[in-house]
Chains A and B, each alone.
Chain A
Amino acid sequence: MPDLQSQDYIRRSASTLTPPSIRNHEQEVAKLIDVSRCIGCKACQSACMEWNDLRSEVGRFQGSYDNPMDLDPSTWTLMRFTEWENEQGNLEWLIRKDGCMHCEDPGCLKACPAPGAIVQYANGIVDFISANCIGCGYCIKGCPFDIPRINPVDRKSYKCTLCSDRVTAGLEPACVKACPTGAIMFGTKTDMTRWAGERIADLNSRGFQNAGLYDPPGVGGTHVMYVLHHADRPSLYAGLPDAPRISPLVGAWKGLFKPLALAGIAAAALAGFFHWVVVGRNEVQPEDDAEAQRLMRDSGEPK
């Protein structure tokens, strides 16, 4: 995506310096997906394809309404359908719009080795700046939600931008605009959280005792949140992680290990340097030559 908000970063991948931050007072935004209002019509998927001008291949039927079958570089959002029989023996068809969650603490950004390829704006949106992407796939390893996909043609990583271009211009994301039932809403995170509270109360009154808001603390909260009928079991919804967090492996790899490793390498080099300073080089002495000559003479001249 075009980098429309370069003075607006609060995080920038592979950067050790403080990013431009004059707009850090901005209110954080959030997209609220009310799964209990979603009818799985895929208008959001179409709108995403339209606005972002994406077209994946015409695929095949594979035994579900999930089409395409998975997120791909041209499919940034995807309806995932789960048929689930509840404890009362009634069927529930859980339909979840999958896509980037725009974590407050984005694992992709943490894992990314390319400076400025992944940024987070002051409003919380996590965006991929394709010009800087090197195509390594570390963002995939960093993401707790299995979202980014690399295009094999250009080796760039793609995912939902939360329509950062539209949001910058004061518009709601395309999926929000297209949703016919208002199941996708957009606003400040505070407002969305409050509105979610009302929806949860309604769901409680309809017998969904465990209805709740999915805003997982393990990633510092997300800027895409779900109202779930069964917030106690997010994984019912096509494997939405119950307690997502950046993998400790990634944390170790991209956290403490980085400075330690550099320090270790530097220490090795410095150790050598100071050994040289203190002890000096190990030179062949004249007596070594003499001893060698004697030995070789004693053994006969080599041919």
Chain B
Amino acid sequence: MTHPKGTLRRNTTAARINHWITGGCFVLLVLSGLAMFHPMLFWLSELFGGGQWTRAIHPWIGIVLLVSYAGMIVQFWRDNHWSRQDAAWMRAIGSVLGNDERAIPEVDRFNAGQKFVFWAMALLVPALFLTGIVIWDAYFSPYTTIEQQRLAALIHSLLAVTAIVVWIVHVYAALWVRGSVRAMTQGYVTPGWAWRHHRAWLRRLAASGSEGPRPRVSTGRQRQ
């Protein structure tokens, strides 16, 4: 997909599709999971055609999420290395939350918050998958003890709630930082947005003459 002239490509088409599959799965998992987690939310099971369907579908969506998130990791892991600037960014979190950009160190493609979400999910998704397998009664109950299943159920729900909180942070951040949603829908951002939020990234793009999402490497071959 092309992007308007003068804008920067923030996310490739593949990355965006991958993200929304992941996101969609996650939302479905949250809805179906919460339906089975708390009686007050059991009505959410109606969204899936009732309790039996909710129970049946949830783990399959989980598998899709696992695969999809693996794709996310492949695509994004290089830009999510932890750096010294990230620590500084974290120290300046008060300024971050106060929309005071001047006091924040320059950020490359992803800031520490985004990296935290990325890595948190990178841990949570497989962990949820593994505990989910243990309590996937229909296929896997014979392979574990009931006590292991009890533990898995407890861990699964703890992790899920953690993931939901992380996800809320992620979603709110996207809404809060204007222009971020478009970065994941249409895939581009304005140079001003990049200057404000990911100045180091902008500098590297500018230095390599790239439109994004990653700077051109020295061989001169353009990366899509």
A selection of 10 A-B contacts at a CB cut-off of 8 Å is A117-B51, A134-B52, A135-B138, A136-B36, A152-B138, A155-B56, A253-B157, A265-B164, A279-B99, A302-B210
B168–A269 touching, CB < 8 Å:
yes
Closest 7 CB pairs of A and B: A137-B137, A289-B192, A292-B191, A134-B51, A272-B172, A299-B206, A292-B195
Which residues from chain A contact B56 at a C-beta distance below 8 Å? 135, 155
Q: Which of B161-189 contact A (CB under 8 A)?
A: 161, 164-165, 168-169, 171-172, 175-179
Q: Are B191 and A113 in contact (CB under 8 A)?
A: no
Task: Choose, from A21-29, A224-232, A255-263, the stretch at the interface.
Answer: A255-263
Cβ of A219 within 8 Å of any chain B Cβ, yes or no, is no
Shortest distance between the CB of B215 and any CB in chain A (Å) = 10
Q: Indicate if A207 sits at the interface (CB-CB under 8 A).
A: no
Contact of A289 with B195 at beta-carbon distance under 8 Å, contacts A134-B54, A282-B178 already known? yes
**Separation in Å of the A68 CB from the closest CB of chain B?**
16
Which residues of B does A touch, CB under 8 Å? 35-40, 42, 45, 50-52, 54-56, 97-99, 101, 135, 137-138, 141, 146-147, 149-151, 153-154, 157-158, 161, 164-165, 168-169, 171-172, 175-179, 190-197, 202-203, 205-207, 209-211, 222
Any B CB within 8 A of the CB of A138: yes
Q: Is the interface of B mostly helix, strand, loop or mixed?
A: helix
Q: Which residues of A contact B138 (CB under 8 A)?
A: 135, 137, 150, 152, 155
Chain A residues within 8 Å of B150, by CB:
141, 247, 249-250, 253
Contact residue range for chain A?
35 or more
Q: Which residue of A lies closest to B96 (CB)?
A: A282
Measured between beta carbons, the chain A residues less than 8 angstroms from B211 are 302-303
B135 close to A295 (CB less than 8 A)? no
Q: Are A257 and B158 also in contact (CB < 8 A) when A115-B42, A155-B138 are?
A: yes
Contacts of A138 in B (CB 8 A): 153
Is B191 in contact with A289, judged by CB distance below 8 angstroms? yes
Give 13 new A-B contacts, CB below 8 A, not counting A279-B97, A289-B192, A293-B191: A113-B51, A132-B51, A135-B52, A141-B149, A247-B150, A249-B154, A282-B176, A284-B179, A291-B192, A292-B194, A292-B202, A299-B206, A302-B209
Residue of B nearest to A273 (CB): B172
